[in-house]
Structures are given as structure tokens and as C-alpha cells.
Amino acid sequence: MRTVPSGHRGGPGVYAMKVRTWMAICCAAAASAARADDASIGIEATIGAQRLGLQHATVAHETLQPMGDLGATVLLRGDALELGVAAEGNFDHTTLQRYNASVLGGLGFDLVPVLRLEVLGEYGAANLRTTADVRAAATSDGSWHRFYGVRPGLSVKLPAFPLRVGVWGLARWGLPGTTGGPAYGMLGRIGLDF
């Protein structure tokens, strides 16, 4: 049985066209960002809040949902524009059980030279099991658990080294097992900027 993502109208063909259009916009924006004088690439490892011992969001006092034990984020930064991809996996000891994969796009600003604020939108597929599932989810007619969300981030960059440390907040709609409002999560992040 196929599920249709919430807000999905116009049949599977229209949905696939929307995904392809979004990907084309991201590719065009990435090409223009790559030409920017101060473009950089960030590669980060992420760890879920539950692994860090956090159970509740500090500001909203909402219960944090597990959004992955370990993951990775790759961002192309140019001026204020940021584009990238992310994946977070859930593991049973050393075996990957399932993962979420998403494309990211949004804005990032250096508040001071060492402190960066980012607000990214994300669109992805949840509960993937193999790498083949990513290709199938990107080209399918909506039978995968699709989600969308907002990913605000705050990070500190060490002055003499390209190391960046911080957190990502997550608010995701459409995750399996959620109804109505968003599911909240948080990821610790550490990475390098090139």
C-alpha cells in the first residue's frame, strides 16, 4: 500500500516533478555559491541528543525525539547561502537499522568571526534501509516516508584551525509515527571547514 505525503496534490507525476524542480534549483544555487569568493565546504559528524544525555529542548521544554544516533552533514557555503546533504542513522550496536537522508538549503551568518548562525530548510526521506533506498526515494512516486523541516544551527569555529563545533536543532513534519505538529530533535556537531 502506498502512502501519499501530507500536502501532496495532483498525483504521483506532479510530486516527482516537484522533487526534480527542487533538485534543479539546488544544483543551480550550488553552482553560483561555488563561484563566490568566500565559498567553503563543511564536513561534519553528528551525534543524536539521546547519545549526549539530553531529553528535553531547553527553550521549548519539548521532549526531544531520537533523530539518529550518528550521522554526517556536508554543506557548501557561499556568502550567506548554504546548500548541502545530511544523513542520520540509527544503530543496534554496530549494525545500521535505518536512516534518514535529506537535502538542505538556507542561510548562514557569522555573528562574530568565530560564531555562526544557520537556518536551513530540509526535505528528505525517513526509515531508509540501504543506499539503494536513497535513489528509489528520490525518483519514486511518493511511497516513501517523506519529511520536511527546519534545521537551525549554532556553531563555533576555532580561530587558528578549521574545526567547527556546535549543535543543530531539528523540527520535522511528516516523520513516521508523528501526527499533526513537528517532531523536535537535536544533534551535536563537529566538523572541518575547507
Do 184 and 65 contact (CB within 8 A), yes or no?
Answer: yes
How many H helices and E strands in the chain? 2, 8
Give the per-residue pLDDT at 32: 56
Do 170 and 186 contact (CB within 8 A), yes or no?
Answer: yes
Characterise 16 by phi-psi region: left (phi > 0), alpha (psi -120 to 50), beta (else).
alpha
Which residue from 127, 129, 126 is spatially nearest to 102, judged by alpha carbons?
126
Evaluate if pTM is beyond 0.75: yes
**Contact residues for 13 (Cβ-Cβ < 8 A; gap 6+):** 141
Domains within the chain, CATH numbers bracketed: 11-193 (2.40.160.20)
What are the angstrom distances between the C-alpha of 158 and each of 31, 107, 165, 170?
28, 21, 8, 24
- pLDDT, tens digit only, all 194 positions of the chain: 444 444 444 555 665 666 677 666 666 665 655 555 678 999 999 999 888 888 877 666 678 888 889 999 999 998 899 999 999 999 888 888 899 999 999 999 999 989 999 999 999 999 898 878 877 777 765 567 889 999 999 999 988 889 999 999 999 999 988 887 899 999 999 999 99
